[in-house]
Chain A
């Protein structure tokens, strides 16, 4: 398996622009997670999905952030409008869900976002 795939790997944009990050989870995995990693706040869970349904979005910082999972093989995290403080590395992770809570989360390589 190719693992969790994220695109783009790097994104540089200007303040006010819309940014869309993409994730393809491992085939057959039921859970998908979006994380943000910054020096100041560390690694934070933004939102996660189970069987394409958002379960917990309490980590989404503001209404400027939205996430969708239209099918089992694709998810997007959108920031509109983007701000310099959104600069971070965004990770997508997936887990099988076969044994419920003890599943391992498999992380993608991340998208490094820079908002100028």
Chain B
């Protein structure tokens, strides 16, 4: 079975500082990996995804993530935090062999706080 571990349920950074949200996964096969963002009282929105190919993936709002197979990680980064980045972030994994990879397993989420 697949699983996702997000290290740190809460992360606080200053505006303009580097954002680093950690995600480690467990999968017996090369997975598909996703980062979603959830703003208060809203649904989830896809930030970026890795399926195949280049391991450094760029997403919306200046975020990027790197798939590191040897470390089973898919950490999310952004060089400079903005106040509008304050939200909850979810890492998710899916098995491409099962149900076409549509069955996402989500991590517990990390709440990002941006201080002015």
Q: Which residues of A are in contact with B by a Cβ distance under 8 Å?
A: 4, 31, 33, 42-45, 48, 55-56, 91, 93, 95, 100-110
Some 9 contacts from A to B, beta carbons below 8 A apart, are A55-B102, A91-B43, A101-B100, A101-B101, A102-B32, A105-B104, A107-B43, A109-B41, A109-B42
Extra contacts, 15 of them, besides A45-B103, A56-B103, A102-B51 (Cβ < 8 A), are A4-B43, A42-B107, A43-B90, A55-B102, A100-B101, A101-B32, A101-B94, A104-B46, A107-B43, A107-B44, A107-B45, A109-B41, A109-B42, A109-B43, A110-B41
Residues of A within 8 A of B96 (CB): 101
Residue of B100, B106, B109 with most partner-chain A CB within 10 A: B100
Asked if residues B46 and A105 are in contact (CB atoms below 8 Å), the reply is yes
- The interface centre, meaning the residue of A56, A107, A109 with most chain B CB atoms within 10 A of its CB, is A107
Closest chain-A Cβ to B92's Cβ sits at a distance in Å of 8
Query: A42 touches which one: B32, B99, B102, B108 (CB < 8 A)?
Result: B108
Q: Is B82 an interface residue (CB 8 A)?
A: no
Query: When the two chains form the complex, which single residue of B44, B51, B102 contacts A48, counting CB atoms closer than 8 Å?
Result: B102
Chief secondary structure at chain A's binding surface: strand
In the complex, number of A-B residue pairs with CB atoms less than 8 Å apart = 59
Q: Is the CB of A102 within 8 A of B101?
A: yes
B49 at the interface (CB under 8 A from A): yes
- Shortest B35–chain A CB gap in Å is 12
Within the complex, the shortest CB–CB distance from B15 to chain A, in Å, comes to 27
